[in-house]
A and B are shown apart, each in its own frame.
Chain A
Amino acid sequence: MSADTPVTKQTDALAGPPAADGELIRLAGVTKRFGTNTVLDRLDFSVESGKHVTLIGPSGSGKTTILRLLMTLTTPDEGTITVDGQPLFPAPDKQVREVRRKIGMVFQQFNLFPNMTVLRNITEAPVTVLGLSRDEAEARARELLDLVGLADKRDMRPTQLSGGQQQRVAIARALAMRPRVLLLDEVTSALDPELVAGVLDLLRDIARSTDITMLCVTHEMNFARDISDQVLMFDSGRIIESGTPEKIFSDPEQERTREFLSAVL
């Protein structure tokens, strides 16, 4: 499957803008409340370009909210978020669009467009947002479909595919915009167990063979260990511990981290 895809194809399909070194994402004092519930509590952290950062922690600890803030699907109550030096909240519409262009997101429920074929799902945004010609967009889509191992499904509707296949199309759709940052929001949580490995293998490939920055919320600890440069442990809207995967998974400092890991591993 995807793991066998030749690497040359991948680098071709994923040739994005060159990654600038240094800090790409910064959150400063970010607070988010839903009613009386504080899901993010004066959060500070930054991500360097090209790094793979995994967010772990119990449900409701605010991990997904961070991805949603970066994708501008929700707004913070306090604090600032900057992407590539550009502040997001508040920002003029044009600037928000510019920032969004640098970010791609893959959702837990795939969120493919059911009224479009697989190919159209992938070409829609490159054509209407990036201004690619239909031919260029389709060539790009075909390369990506090769990468995710679904070249033969391009004329199908999402509903005709398995969950794992849909999620791989969703990954191709996000990559077609050549984002600098890829946000992965529990991308295997909605999949049948036997379909999880294929999606994770694909993401391992992408992590290994590109310089794309990844922010990944996941409960797949082995995957997190494999791809991460840094792991952030969340609890009650705060980062209680962060470090390399080796450190966090084998020798965590916080009792809470130990508890959480023993419960999920």
Chain B
Amino acid sequence: MKWDWSAVREFMPHFWDGLLVTLQALALGSLLSFGLGLVWALLMRTPSRLVRWPVGVVTEFVRNTPLLVQLFFLFYVLPEWGLTFSALATGVFAIGLHYSTYTMQVYRAGIEAVPVGQWEAATALNLPWRRTWTAVILPQAIRRVIPALGNYVIAMLKDTPMLMVITVLEMLGQARLFSQQRFQFTEPLTVIGVAFILISYLASLLLRALERRLVR
């Protein structure tokens, strides 16, 4: 086996395409998981057991089944019921849904960490419950959980190659396609490996900077 720079050169245009798709899936998947996770966390705090119970069952189910299985299910089973989405949209939805069942626990911990005195002060000032949540509790809770959410972004990044199985041409998909056509595996796989390390590393630097700013 020898290293072939021309293969790297030829792979690069495909790599950039793949990178763009990976970053898209990551960004949209993250946003979805942040939003949905917050919705689950808030629903789990409603007094009504009729709300909490189904949300608890569904999120527990999603958290405890493999993302890969969920991807296959969403991509191959939903169309049979007449629901068709693009491969990327399906992938984003699967990742966002899967990780929302983790971020909901992060939010829960963040909400529970807000001192009870904050709730009491809000009551003493007669703030409406909606305002108590949006102006007092959530700003403090979310600030606390941003580092933990960031860790899930990095975990999500490492799960994006799974989208390959539903035909999304993210980085790994591009590398595999290139390899199958050229029978050169080392160069494209090395390139995307380095890319994953770089993105993770940059993201962790960004996270640490954010943590330092938030923890005062």
- Residues of chain A within 8 A of B216, CB atoms compared: 159
16 residue pairs of the A-B complex, CB under 8 angstroms, read: A73-B120, A100-B123, A100-B126, A104-B124, A105-B124, A107-B120, A107-B121, A109-B117, A113-B136, A113-B140, A124-B127, A124-B135, A125-B127, A128-B128, A174-B124, A177-B125
- Residues of chain A within 8 A of B121, CB atoms compared: 107, 111-113
Asked if B125 contacts A72 (CB within 8 A), the reply is no
Instruction: Tell me, yes or no, whether A101 is within 8 Å of chain B by CB.
Output: yes
Instruction: Tell me, yes or no, whether B131 is within 8 Å of chain A by CB.
Output: yes
Q: How many residues of A contact B (CB 8 A)?
A: 25
Q: How large is the interface on B (under 10, 10 to 19, 20 to 34, 35 or more residues)?
A: 10 to 19
Interface code B104-142, partner A: CB below 8 Å = 1, 0 otherwise? 000000000001011011011111100100011001100
* Contact of B126 (CB < 8 Å), options: A115, A116, A129, A173: A129
Alpha-carbon separation in the docked complex, A244 to B159 (Å): 72
Q: Return A16 CB to nearest CB of chain B, in Å.
A: 15
Alpha-carbon separation in the docked complex, A53 to B139 (Å): 37
Asked if B136 contacts A115 (CB within 8 A), the reply is yes
What residues of chain B have their CB less than 8 Å away from a CB belonging to chain A?
A: 115, 117-118, 120-121, 123-128, 131, 135-136, 139-140, 143, 216
Asked if A101 contacts B123 (CB within 8 A), the reply is no
Instruction: Tell me, yes or no, whether A71 is within 8 Å of chain B by CB.
Output: yes
Instruction: Tell me, yes or no, whether A33 is within 8 Å of chain B by CB.
Output: no
- Residues of chain B within 8 A of A17, CB atoms compared: none
Asked if B127 contacts A107 (CB within 8 A), the reply is no
Asked if B126 contacts A125 (CB within 8 A), the reply is yes
